[in-house]
Structure formats: structure tokens, C-alpha cells
């Protein structure tokens, strides 16, 4: 059974700091991994999607890496801003022919202080 | 091009009542997933449906919960005789296909409160 763990559960940093969020998964037979952002009381916004054959993906100040063999991914946020405050979720999709549900971690709650 | 729509956004039910949550997928999408987020927890898969078919309901509680996705109209998640433990945010996602190549797009969620 696939399990996804995110560390830390919560993180508070001053504005401008670079930071790393960690995600680990127990079953390395994944098809892809996705990072989401969730604002309080809101839905999920997809940030980055990394295919299993890729090592990293970048979008603006965000960079996500994937080490499939060791079951790890990191989300790097450069020059953090108060607007980055949210819960960040990682989710993996297994190599299935149908269904391909997402298995989520419990998230890292990020607070960026001005 | 509207995204995934869910309604209501907030729903309050007393214990023992029924809750009906609706999800309209993105245009052109015929695959729907339901996930539940309990307080202070991550999202957990509940059920995966195609039009008129339940493909995978391995995440659904065995009793009181049911889901459908009719040929016409939205997907419905029904919870009968709600209990306090059903209070959660329920998210729907849709995709063009069930294959992992296709990304799932999430709706804003329905927040159910059972009093």
C-alpha cells in the first residue's frame, strides 16, 4: 500500500528566505508526482507535475525534484513571499492502467512572515 | 471554459439527515474522482466513476455512502444518516481519461458540517 509522508508538518519562515519542503513515498512504482497548493477553505491548485522519467520541473520561483528510486521529492521555493503562505500537498499516482487515483501526503503548512 | 464545479460549497446537516454533494466535471471530461479531507488530515481517495459506471470504490465507507455519475447531469455523492464523523471537505476531480497520463483537475470542494 502506497504511503506518502511530508516533512515538516508546519514551517514558519521570514520573507525572502529560500525553503525546501520534503515528500517521501513507500512504493517507487509511481507514474508521476504532483505538488499542489491549498489555501484555507479553498480547493487545490496544481503547481508542478513531474513524470517518473523526469528529475525536476521548474515554474517561476518553484522547483520540484524527483528521485524515484529513493522515493523522495522536494519542492524548493526561492525568495519566499507572504503570498506563498498556504498548505502544500504532494500526491503520487501509481503505474496503473485504469483509475490512477492520487495518493496524498498530509501536507506542509507554510507561513511566510513579512 | 469553466473548471470543475461543486455545489453546494457549504452544507450543514443534522445527525441522521442525508447529504447530497454534486460535482460537474470540466467540459469534455467523463471521468470523476471523489476525495475526502478530514480535519487536519490529507485528502483520501473515495471513488472513481465514469459515465454510468463505478470503476473503483475501494475508498468508500461500506455503509451509508454511495456515488453515481449518470449519463446526463452531475456526479452525486450521497451520504445517508450522517454522523459527526462525516464532517469534512469533499473534493471532486475530473479528467479526460482514467489513464495516468491525464491530469486530474480539482473543484473547490464542499464543506460538510454535521451538527
A43–B107 C-beta distance less than 8 A: yes
The mean pLDDT value of chain A amounts to 92
The pLDDT assigned to B47 comes to 95
Q: Mean pLDDT in runs of 10 for chain B (115 residues)?
A: 89 98 94 92 92 91 95 96 97 86 89 97
Is the pLDDT score of A32 beyond 60?
yes
Amino acid B39: pLDDT: 85
Q: Which residues of B9-109 form beta strands (DSSP E)?
A: 10-13, 19-24, 31-37, 43-50, 53-56, 65-68, 75-79, 88-95, 105-106
Interface of B with A (CB under 8 A): 33, 35, 41-45, 48, 55-56, 59, 91, 93, 98-100, 103-109, 111
Amino acid at each position: 500500500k502506497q504511503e506518502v509522508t511530508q516533512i515538516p508538518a508546519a514551517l514558519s519562515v521570514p520573507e525572502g528566505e529560500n525553503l525546501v519542503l520534503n515528500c517521501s513515498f513507500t512504493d517507487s512504482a509511481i507514474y508521476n508526482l504532483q505538488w499542489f497548493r491549498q489555501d484555507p477553505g479553498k480547493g487545490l491548485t496544481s503547481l508542478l507535475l513531474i513524470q517518473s522519467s523526469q528529475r525536476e520541473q521548474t515554474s517561476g520561483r518553484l522547483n520540484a525534484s524527483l528521485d524515484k528510486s529513493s522515493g523522495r521529492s522536494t519542492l524548493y521555493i526561492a525568495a519566499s513571499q507572504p503570498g506563498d503562505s498556504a498548505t502544500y500537498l504532494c500526491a503520487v499516482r501509481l503505474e496503473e492502467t485504469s483509475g490512477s487515483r492520487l495518493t496524498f501526503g498530509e501536507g506542509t503548512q507554510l507561513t511566510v512572515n513579512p | 471554459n469553466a473548471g470543475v464545479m461543486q455545489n453546494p460549497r457549504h452544507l450543514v446537516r443534522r445527525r441522521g439527515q442525508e447529504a447530497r454533494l454534486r460535482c460537474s466535471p470540466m467540459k469534455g471530461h467523463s471521468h470523476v474522482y471523489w476525495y475526502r479531507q478530514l480535519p487536519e488530515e490529507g485528502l483520501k481517495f473515495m471513488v472513481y466513476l465514469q459515465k454510468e459506471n463505478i470503476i473503483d470504490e475501494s475508498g468508500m465507507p461500506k455503509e451509508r455512502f454511495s456515488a453515481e455519475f449518470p449519463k446526463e447531469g452531475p456526479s452525486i455523492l450521497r451520504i445517508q444518516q450522517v454522523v459527526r464523523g462525516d464532517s469534512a471537505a469533499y473534493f471532486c476531480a475530473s479528467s479526460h481519461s482514467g489513464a495516468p497520463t491525464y491530469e486530474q483537475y480539482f473543484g473547490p470542494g464542499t464543506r460538510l458540517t454535521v451538527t
